[in-house]
Amino acid sequence: MNQNLSEADLSHLQEALSRSGQKVTPQRETVFKVLLSKRDHPSVDEVYNRAREAMPGLSLATVYNCLETFVGCGLVRQVNHERESTRYCPNLAPHAHFRDKATGRVHDIDLPPEVLSSLRSILPPGFDSETIEISFHGRTQAKDGHAN
């Protein structure tokens, strides 16, 4: 979390923002960096706390604003589980989420195209889906500590 955004990530941010007529600001850079540097589906509060290490004056409202902006221009996805607080995920590849009952951690589960299309095929005619959210809830016997 100490080094800056890479050239590539910065221009990714830059490009997505300007596509919707918005600017790169220090706050947005900081929040984006937080999301990329630990991909563990943080809540707004977690993003806020991590981001303030690098930018102490940052306000919670701004974190909400930044994240909403990123969702709006397709840079990150929201992840909701029941009525818990919203989490954020910079993984844009099609994937499902698995929420561990015991730890509360959210893991990305890769979603192969054929499963995605078999899922789409269950929709009756007249139903046009723009987004699909798939979430599993259960337990893991994970041996490693990384949370994805």
Write the CB contacts of 77 (distance below 8 Å, at least 6 apart in sequence).
Answer: 71, 88, 89, 90, 91, 92
- The piece of 14-22, 31-39, 62-70, 106-114 that touches its own copies (CB under 8 A) is 106-114
Torsion of CA 54, 49, 90, 7, to 10 degrees: 0
The correct pick among 14, 37, 40, 44 for binding DNA (CB under 7 A) is 44
Q: Of 53 and 110, which CB lies nearer to its own copies in the complex structure?
A: 110
> Does residue 48 contact residue 17 with C-beta atoms inside 8 Å?
no
Distance of CA 118 to the CA centre of its chain: 25
Closest distance to DNA from the beta carbon of 131 (Å): 17
Q: Of 60 and 116, which CB lies nearer to DNA in the complex structure?
A: 60
Note whether 92 binds its own copies by CB under 8 A.
no
Instruction: Enumerate the β-bridge partners of residue 77.
Output: 89
Q: 3-class SS at 142?
A: coil
Residue 106 is classified by DSSP as E
Map residues 66-85 to x or -, x wherever contact with its own copies holds by CB under 8 A.
------------x-x-xx--
Q: Of 57 and 124, which CB lies nearer to its own copies in the complex structure?
A: 124
Q: Of 30 and 107, which CB lies nearer to DNA in the complex structure?
A: 30
Contact of residue 49 among DNA, its own copies, none (CB under 5-8 Å per partner type): none
Residue among 88, 82, 81 nearest 63 (CA): 88
> Which residues in this chain contact DNA in the complex, by CB under 7 A?
17, 21-23, 25-28, 43-45, 57-62, 64-66, 68, 83, 85-86
